Amino acid sequence: MARGRRMPKGMGGGMNNMMKQVQKMQKQMEEMQKELEETEVEATSGGGAVLVKVNGKKALLELKIDPEVVDKDDVEMLEDMVVAAINEAFRKADEMMETEMRKVTGGVNIPGLM
């Protein structure tokens, strides 16, 4: 019964257009990811006492510590501020990536992209 059945006229062209759109979106996503990987995100903690910069790849690029907060008797507080600043920078990098991905995908959640 299924033998000899063909796609309704015009269906093949629609599929080709959809594939072209998917390829275009894929290229845009690749370009956007490369651009975002080079983008720097900055975060601070301790009221600006600790500053970190990361890129879109979540690589730590820079760490600055205000000498005023370096207290040999309270190293634990400094460690906590460094961890907090790095985690905030990573969160900002994730947020930036998600925002840009939504722009490319039109808000459609595509499994496996992020």
pLDDT in tens, 33-68: 888 888 899 999 999 999 999 998 889 999 999 999
pTM of the model: 0.67
Q: How far is 58 from 91, CA to CA, in rounded Å?
A: 9
* Architecture per CATH, 42-100: 2-Layer Sandwich (3.30)
Rg of the chain over Cα atoms, rounded to whole angstroms, equals 23
Q: How far is 61 from 43, CA to CA, in rounded Å?
A: 12
| Residue type at 113 in one-letter notation | L
Average pLDDT, the chain: 83
pLDDT band at residue 110 using 50, 70 and 90 as cut-offs: low
pLDDT score recorded for residue 19 = 85
Report helix, strand or coil for 31.
Answer: helix
pLDDT score recorded for residue 113 = 55
